[in-house]
A and B are shown apart, each in its own frame.
Chain A
Amino acid sequence: MSNSPQVASMCDVSFTVNGEPKTVSAYPMERLLDVLRQHLRFTGPKEGCGEGECGSCAVLINGFLVNSCLVPLLQAKDANILTIEGIASEHSHDLQQAFLNCGGAQCGICTPGMILAALHLLDKRPSPTMEEIREGLSGNLCRCTGYMQIFEAVAEAARQPTITK
């Protein structure tokens, strides 16, 4: 295996973020998280662990929940990316409102990832059991709330008839 460092060349990669077409010129192994935060200034995705354990950098790619710290930029080519910035319209999304109502956010670092994980769950299971909520959010760590308020918020959002899941 060749170990000599070689300078990679930059490439243009196009995708959409929250429905808007974007093209970035960057190195192919840049982490999608860094591209979103630093190149495009979508600072909703947070860096927690940087190794796929905590879920704070979660975004949806083509509808699938992923940890953006583990996605090299090149693999996001042509993808439709949804970050927390893209889920509210004029009003808060039902999930955001439910997090507020239930005390589901404290320091806020885990919240974007929690809400995207919840959105992904509700897309698959519109009326999840508490067990399914726990599992759907099991890859998202929170060090403030003790989780119960978060689970309750997701359950409350799932009860909303109008929710756009």
Chain B
Amino acid sequence: MRSDPRDYQLVAPGTLHTVLAIMAEEPGAWLPIAGGTDVMVLYAAGKLPARRLLSIWNLPELRGIEVLPGEIRIGAGCTYTELREHEVIAREFPLLARAASWTGGIANQNRGTIGGNIVNASPAADSLPALLVYEAELILVSIRGERRVPYAGFHTGYKTTKLAVDELVRAVSLRRQFSEYFHYARKVGARNAQAIAKVCVAAVGRLTKNCVDDLRIALGSVAPVPLRLLNTEIAVKGKRIDSSLLMVARKTAASEIRPINDIRSTARYRSQVTSNLVEEFLRQLDTGATV
């Protein structure tokens, strides 16, 4: 049943400091809402447990993409549209730009934010495997100050995170170290646009003397959290890509995911697709990256 707006409080304090002060004063009492592409869906369905909402949409302190010599710092309030259209992201972090283009339609890309995607913590979120692959760091902020945490390990379980009750994600930091890598991304869903992934993958790799000198592979929709395939990476690293390595990579990948049957797909299909995509990535790395 639809929610009744009379039962929900929403305030928009307008500055980060005031937002953080309110969150510190009554920890856990307020739910931050940015573009509303997740929160408003729950609200419309009558499934939003929070009754007091704090608008952080358009807070200037959460906006902007800062390009520094060694890193790029993306404000948590940046929309998918801004990620897609940013020149440095498109050039150096194409998996993130691609994932942003896959997330919902244009209207949702104009409202959905990278910070919201992280905190909403859906294992099926398109942009999160890219953040794992690029070894993102999160800058978290509360009235107590800022802290930087690696994005890997931020999700502690299905839809749970290390974010404290009085904290917001302020920015995402990416080190500018992948411009020489081969980048691979693929989403498998029922439909290209507006569909949530059955499996999505982001990967980077680099060959030296025909051997895989470095690689990172991460997947969405195959475990309770976005997952980096660390065992597969170890199995492949330093090796030449040939048919026996592809077999090992396929098996290792299938063994380290924890897919489930749900409304979008089956565990078996997800496992098969995961192996296929890992193989496709390695084949393209072998041919594409040596050109």
The CA of A150 and the CA of B21, in the complex, are separated in Å by 49
Determine if A8 and B110 form an interchain contact, defined as CB atoms under 8 angstroms apart: no
Determine if A53 and B194 form an interchain contact, defined as CB atoms under 8 angstroms apart: yes
The main secondary structure of chain A at its interface with chain B is loop
Q: Does A69 contact B (CB under 8 A)?
A: yes
Could you mark each residue 104-121 of chain B with 1 if its beta carbon is under 8 Å from any beta carbon of chain A, else 0? 111110110000000000
Q: Does B37 contact A (CB under 8 A)?
A: yes
CB proximity of B231 to chain A, nearest CB, Å: 36
Determine if A135 and B193 form an interchain contact, defined as CB atoms under 8 angstroms apart: yes
The CA of A43 and the CA of B7, in the complex, are separated in Å by 25
CB proximity of B10 to chain A, nearest CB, Å: 4
From B28, B107, B194, A1 is in contact (CB under 8 Å) with: B28
Interface size on A, residues (CB 8 A): 40
Determine if A52 and B41 form an interchain contact, defined as CB atoms under 8 angstroms apart: yes
Determine if B106 and A139 form an interchain contact, defined as CB atoms under 8 angstroms apart: yes
CB-CB under 8 A from B192, the residues of chain A are: 138
Q: Does B49 contact A (CB under 8 A)?
A: yes
Q: Does B211 contact A (CB under 8 A)?
A: no
Determine if B44 and A69 form an interchain contact, defined as CB atoms under 8 angstroms apart: yes
Could you mark each residue 48-61 of chain B with 1 if its beta carbon is under 8 Å from any beta carbon of chain A, else 0? 01111101011000
From B7, B41, B52, B58, A70 is in contact (CB under 8 Å) with: B41
Q: Does B69 contact A (CB under 8 A)?
A: no
CB-CB under 8 A from B248, the residues of chain A are: none
Could you mark each residue 20-46 of chain A with 1 if its beta carbon is under 8 Å from any beta carbon of chain B, else 0? 000000111111000000000000000
Determine if A3 and B108 form an interchain contact, defined as CB atoms under 8 angstroms apart: no
CB-CB under 8 A from B41, the residues of chain A are: 51-52, 70
The CA of A90 and the CA of B204, in the complex, are separated in Å by 55
Determine if A52 and B11 form an interchain contact, defined as CB atoms under 8 angstroms apart: no
Tell me whether A77 and B12 are in contact in the complex, defined as CB-CB below 8 angstroms, given that A51-B44, A138-B105 are known contacts: yes
Tell me whether A8 and B6 are in contact in the complex, defined as CB-CB below 8 angstroms, given that A2-B29, A77-B12 are known contacts: yes
CB proximity of B163 to chain A, nearest CB, Å: 14
Q: Does B45 contact A (CB under 8 A)?
A: yes
CB-CB under 8 A from B58, the residues of chain A are: 75
Determine if A52 and B106 form an interchain contact, defined as CB atoms under 8 angstroms apart: no
The 3 closest A-B pairs by CB, nearest first: A139-B105, A138-B193, A27-B5
What are 21 A-B residue pairs whose CB atoms fall within 8 Å in the complex?
A2-B51, A2-B52, A3-B49, A7-B6, A8-B7, A8-B8, A8-B10, A27-B8, A28-B11, A31-B40, A52-B108, A55-B107, A64-B111, A65-B106, A66-B107, A70-B40, A72-B33, A75-B57, A121-B106, A136-B106, A139-B104
